[in-house]
């Protein structure tokens, strides 16, 4: 007997129920029959998948492996079946009517959704957010996301697997966020050394806002006194209260706070959009790419500080080649 998808569903149902008796009820089979089926599956896989204890059944290491792999495989197969059904019903061509977007840059979601739904009003868009570009790329590779909008530290490779398609849509400097009454708030530029005595705050990121920042400070001749890594709202509060200054994206515009460029651009942030070129939504990649470029341009336009800075710094800002 070969391992089939139904066997993986049985294992996942038992794991979720925590009991063979409960799982049998959910599957609509007798408990002895389910126990016999589990034993056959275990023989195919070469070992026990569960052990019994006072709480019911618990996965063995082999069981954990099977459950993890099944959690990736089953949704992918179900998505394949759904896409195949839509393709057949449409006579061989289909344009998806729903996309799921992941983003590590929360500020771009609202303008992106607006731009995308203006272009494709028939499209339903759902979103998810994570600070980690690597985590989002993993979800993209597994088929649980259709598109990802992420940022990576300047010089870093795109995240995730080699079979994903990535397009850069902007290269931005990292600015510093100050309260409007800070002594340096009115400066056109500041250096990291100007803020050597400050406490710092930064949102989580895959390298740039922690590792690369620490290295840039060392090159400027000091070690940061402290670095508070927190969510965006907490960073804003730390700056507003005068507790810290913060690293921020150049497009940030917040009441009561000012963004100031860092001299010589010690940190830069590369914005990318990614998708799987063989996915059902790949035909929409051009439209989504174009919409994300427009959304980022909207963010740039609302920031007088960044727009002015870009005029003196060619090579930064939105990419000029728009997808068709």
Closest CA to 292 of 148, 81, 96: 148
Q: Please report the pLDDT score of residue 275 as a whole number.
A: 95
Higher pLDDT, 176 or 104: 176
Q: Please report the pLDDT score of residue 166 as a whole number.
A: 93
DSSP 254: -
**pLDDT level of residue 261 (50, 70, 90 thresholds):** very high
Q: Please report the pLDDT score of residue 292 as a whole number.
A: 93
**pLDDT level of residue 320 (50, 70, 90 thresholds):** very low
Residue 95 reports pLDDT greater than 70: no
254 touches 72 (CB < 8 A): no
The CA angle 137-131-16, to the nearest 5 degrees, is: 70
Specify the pTM. 0.66
Catalogue all structural domains in the chain, each as residue range(s) with its CATH number: 5-89 (1.10.10.10), 98-324 (3.40.190.290)
Closest CA to 267 of 156, 132, 103: 156
Q: What is the C-alpha separation between 41 and 1, in angstroms, rounded?
A: 9
Closest CA to 252 of 135, 181, 186, 172: 172
Please report, for residues 10, 167, 170, 246, 273, the alpha-carbon distance to residue 133 in angstroms, rounded to integers and kept in the order given. Answer: 33, 14, 16, 20, 11
Please report, for residues 149, 215, 317, the alpha-carbon distance to residue 271 in angstroms, rounded to integers and kept in the order given. Answer: 7, 21, 10
| Mean pLDDT confidence for 55-84 | 86
Closest CA to 121 of 291, 272, 295: 291
Query: Integer distance in angstroms from the first to the last C-alpha of the chain?
Result: 50
Residue 12 reports pLDDT greater than 90: yes
Q: Are strands 245-249 and 317-318 parallel, antiparallel or unpaired?
A: unpaired
- pLDDT tens digits along 139-178: 999 999 999 999 888 777 888 888 899 999 999 999 999 9
């Amino acid at each position: 007997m070969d391992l089939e998808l139904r066997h993986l569903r049985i294992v996942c149902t038992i794991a979720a129920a925590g009991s063979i008796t409960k799982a049998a009820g959910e599957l609509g089979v007798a408990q002895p029959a389910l126990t016999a089926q589990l034993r056959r599956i275990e023989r195919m896989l070469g070992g026990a998948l569960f052990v019994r204890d006072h709480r019911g059944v618990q996965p063995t290491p082999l069981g954990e492996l099977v459950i993890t792999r099944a959690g990736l495989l089953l949704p992918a197969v179900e998505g394949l079946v759904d896409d195949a059904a839509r393709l057949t019903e449409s006579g061989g061509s289909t344009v998806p009517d729903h996309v799921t977007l992941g983003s590590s840059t929360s500020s771009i979601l609202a303008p992106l959704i607006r731009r995308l739904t203006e272009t494709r009003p028939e499209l339903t868009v759902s979103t998810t957010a994570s600070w980690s570009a690597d985590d989002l790329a993993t979800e993209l590779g597994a088929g649980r996301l259709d598109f990802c909008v992420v940022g990576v530290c300047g010089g870093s490779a795109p995240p995730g697997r080699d079979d994903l398609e990535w397009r850069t849509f902007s290269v931005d400097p990292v600015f510093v966020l100050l309260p409007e009454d800070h002594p340096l708030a009115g400066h056109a530029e500041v250096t990291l050394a100007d803020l050597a005595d400050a406490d710092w705050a930064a949102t989580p990121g895959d390298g740039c806002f922690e590792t690369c920042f620490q290295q840039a400070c060392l090159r400027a001749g000091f070690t940061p006194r402290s670095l508070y890594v927190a969510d965006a709202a907490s960073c804003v509060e730390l700056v507003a209260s005068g507790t810290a200054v913060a690293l921020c994206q150049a497009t940030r515009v917040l009441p009561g706070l000012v963004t100031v460029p860092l001299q010589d651009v010690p940190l830069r942030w590369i914005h990318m959009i990614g998708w799987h070129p063989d996915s059902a939504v790949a035909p929409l990649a051009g439209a989504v790419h174009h919409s994300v470029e427009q959304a980022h341009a909207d963010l740039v336009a609302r920031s007088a500080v960044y727009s002015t800075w870009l005029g003196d710094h060619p090579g930064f800002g939105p990419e000029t080649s728009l997808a068709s």
